[in-house]
Amino acid sequence: MHPTRIAVTIAVLTLLGTACVEERSDGASGEDARLQAASQGLCDAQVLVSEGDVVRAAEVIDRETHDYLHELASMLQDVDRRAAAELLEVKQRLEATLATPERADPGAVAALIPELQRALADGAEAAGGDDLHEPVLELRF
């Protein structure tokens, strides 16, 4: 394996270990459940990227996370415009990188997903939702 690929893989696994460590089953409902589902979608996508499946990662983000990011950004407009802008900016960068997922650089995608996870967590906190700075998924290798 190429040294750069090894370094990217280690970085991805390290980020996953800090961003997605503990599975939640607290029976959240409504908005908190949607927030957790969006966050879980990002974790699932990160795992797929680390396995080299950027196309499926893009599908997961689109299916499980994309709409909620727009809704959260809309909610944040009146509460914290800076958090809304940061969320939309990172989301847009990831979408641009995934515009043609079969040609997307896995390293770039792997770097952007944790950024989006942090922006999602910051936005949720600003909107008064769950604290997603606490991990949501445990990965065991």
Q: Where are the domains of the chain?
A: 3-127
pLDDT of residue 18: 46
What is the rounded end-to-end Cα distance, in angstroms, of the chain?
19
Predicted confidence at residue 31, as pLDDT, reads 79
pLDDT at 29: 59
- Distance between CA 106 and CA 2 in Å, rounded? 14
Q: In the prediction, which pLDDT does 32 show?
A: 85
What pLDDT does residue 26 have?
Answer: 52
pLDDT tens per residue, the chain (141 residues)? 455 544 444 444 444 444 564 444 455 557 789 999 999 999 999 999 999 999 999 999 999 999 999 999 999 998 999 999 999 999 999 999 999 999 999 999 999 999 999 999 999 999 886 555 444 444 433
Rounded to whole angstroms, how far apart are CA atoms 25 and 137?
A: 10
Looking at residue 128, what is its pLDDT?
84
The model carries a pTM of 0.73
pLDDT of residue 30: 79
The burial of 100, by beta-carbon neighbours within 10 Å (0-12 exposed, 13-18 middle, 19 or more buried), is given as exposed
